[in-house]
Amino acid sequence: MIYGLALSYHYTGENKFLTGAKRAAHFFLANLPEDHVPHWDFRAPDAGEKPRDTSAGACAACGLIELAKIVPQAEASFYLRAAEQIIRSLYENYGTWGIPEEEGLILSGTSNLPGGVHIDTPLIYGDYFFVEAVSKLRGTVLQLW
């Protein structure tokens, strides 16, 4: 939602999209656990272990980077710093760098917990958004969407 609304504002200039992106970003950031990588569902009951969703974290980081590009500088550093924290945690805590048999880049993606599908596993779109965020944090200015 963060990424989509930030892009919608980028292409339309309509303030409702910027407002929505900021609200979504603040909700997302306020609900992150200590390692800055979201659980599969922020509103899931606390009973039992909630799996992480690294793909959601990577996509949100991309959205936060885009949001940082369209807000005043005083706000931009807040969003950019949050994106950097998420990507650093994904790299340090969920990267597959020491697992040669693993085909994905980041572990612990979850797409459908209730359906029992793709739980705690690398997801191709998580890898994509992780690479996109790293690229943008390293200075790529190419608008991919």
CA distance 4 to 61: 12
Whether 39 and 53 have beta carbons less than 8 Å apart is answered as: yes
- In this predicted model, what pLDDT tens digit does every residue of 65-78 receive, in sequence order? 999 999 999 999 99
Per-residue model confidence (pLDDT) at position 43 = 84
- CA diameter of the chain: 47
Per-residue model confidence (pLDDT) at position 48 = 63
Compute CA distances 129 → 36, 93, 115, 141, whole Å.
16, 17, 23, 15
The answer to whether the predicted template modeling score (pTM) of the entire model surpasses 0.85 is yes
DSSP E strand boundaries for 33-84: none
Residues in the chain: 145
> Domain ranges in the chain?
2-41+50-137
Q: Environment class of residue 52 by beta-carbon count within 10 Å: exposed (0-12), middle (13-18) or buried (19+)?
A: buried
- Which conformational region is residue 94 in: left (phi greater than 0), alpha (psi within -120 to 50 degrees), or beta? alpha
Q: Which of 12, 28, 31 is nearest to 70 (CA)?
A: 12
Amino acid at 11: Y
Tell me which residues of the chain have a pLDDT lower than 70.
46-48
- In this predicted model, what pLDDT tens digit does every residue of 81-99 receive, in sequence order? 999 999 999 999 999 999 9
Per-residue model confidence (pLDDT) at position 47 = 57
Distance between alpha carbon 92 and the CA centroid of its chain, in Å?
A: 15
DSSP 9-22: HHHH--HHHHHHHH
